[in-house]
Each structure stands twice: as C-alpha cells, then as structure tokens.
Chain A
Amino acid sequence: MLHIINKSPLTGSTLDSCLNTATGGDILLIEDAVYAATRGSAVEARLRAAMGKFKVHVLMPDLDARGMGDRLMEGVSPVDYGGFVELTVNNKNCQSWL
C-alpha cells in the first residue's frame, strides 16, 4: 500500500499516525511533509527508524520549492510527479493521510 503524507512532522502527528498504524509498504512525502525527509531535523531519527518497515520517497519538486533540496536524507528515494504516478500504479491501493 502507498501512504501519502502532506503535513510537516514538526507541527502535526500525521506522519506518526501513519508510522504507528500502517503495516508497511511505501510512504510518499509531499507538500509540507517533505521536511520529514531532511537531514538535521528533530524528527530525522524517527523516520530513519521507520525505514526498515517502510520504503520512504519524497516528491523532489516540493522539496526543491522549499529550498531544502540540499538536505535530502540518505535512504529516502527522490521522485518527480512521474515517479509519484508510478508509485500509485505499483501499489494495489493508496491512502492520503489527510
């Protein structure tokens, strides 16, 4: 299953809810959730710990737009919108954690 997150992990608990409830699969960070994919943030360790269970992707156009393209955390796979489409195709279902 593909889990799509769009909220900053520093102001809300959406990413945590997903990490706690979802059984595994792919996570795609878009919009303000891309900050979760950056080095040096207070939630870096949290995401790193989840990487065994989930494959984590980040939408690069959103990371670049926010000037954080130079902080991409190792182990997070960068995708463009085409890659986003591929993730939805390759998973049987998807959920946007709104």
Chain B
Amino acid sequence: MKFGIVVNEGPYQHQASDSAYLFAKAAIEKGHEVWRVFFYHDGVNNASKLTEPPQDDRHIVNRWAKLAEDHKIDLVVCVAAALRRGIKEENLAQGFRISGLGQLVEAGIKCDRLVTFGD
C-alpha cells in the first residue's frame, strides 16, 4: 500500500514526529511504500539543519533524512508554514524540499492512506 504521512508538530517539543517516524519505519518493514511525508504547522521545524540535540539523544532531523534516502521518501516542507517560522533553503536539512500545500492535497489523492500526527 502507498502511504502518505502528515507531521504537524516540531521535533522534541511533541511526540508527533517520533510517532510518525516509527510508524513510517514499521510500514516500510511490512513491505508498504511511504510515498511522501508532509511537514506542516510547527512540523516544518523538523527540517532545520541547525538542529543539534545532545549526543545521547536521537537526531530527529537526520533520522528522517536517512529513512528518506534509504527508501526514496519525498520529504516535503510547506513553504508558507516554513517562511513564517524561519525555515528557508539556506537552513534546510539535506533530504527535505520546500514546496506548496498542493503537495499535501496531492498526497491525499495519490496515497491509499494518509495518516496525520500532530497535537
């Protein structure tokens, strides 16, 4: 099955991004495709390359990028939400791209299931 995932909260502050990541990983392990992850609201902060968690903590940003690279997942950050919160090409982490809200609607149309993680 083709999955789309929506992440509406930033990393560390809220569990949403962790839950979404573990869901995506489990879907892939079961042989499903995660076609796109769309980051909206404060979720755009998951794409900041300035993120530096303590050594003994998980690196949420890099973890998404690695999963995307290994399994060809399209990580899309909403441009309007990103600009509001100071996420731009210059501080965008590798593996993510900035695009419009149409990408979220398209994920709803093209995926068999769209699962949202937020507050």
Contacts and interface: CB of A to CB of B under 8 A. Distances in A.
Q: CB atoms of A and B under 8 A apart anywhere in the complex?
A: yes
Interface of A: 4, 6, 30-31, 61-62, 80-82, 84-86, 88-89, 93-94, 96, 98
A81 B21 CA distance: 10
B22 A81 contact: yes
14 contacts: A6-B15, A6-B16, A6-B117, A6-B119, A31-B19, A81-B25, A82-B26, A85-B23, A85-B32, A89-B1, A89-B32, A96-B115, A98-B8, A98-B118
B79 interface: no
A96 B119 CA distance: 9
B116 A85 contact: no
A60 to B, nearest CB: 12
B113 A89 contact: yes
Interface in B21-47: 22-23, 25-27, 29-30, 32
Q: Is the interface of B mostly helix, strand, loop or mixed?
A: mixed
A98 B23 contact: no
Q: Chain B, interface size: which category? A: 20 to 34
Contacts of A31: 15-16, 19
Given A96-B115, A96-B118, A82 B1 contact: no
Contact of A88 (B19, B115, B119): B115
Interface of B: 1, 3, 8, 15-16, 19, 22-23, 25-27, 29-30, 32, 113, 115-119
B116 A96 contact: yes
B116 to A, nearest CB: 4
A80 B16 CA distance: 16
Nearest to A94: B115
A88 B22 contact: no
A98 B9 CA distance: 11
Contacts of B26: 80-82, 84-85
Given A85-B26, A94-B113, A96-B117, 4 more contacts: A81-B26, A85-B23, A98-B8, A98-B119
Contacts of A98: 8, 116, 118-119
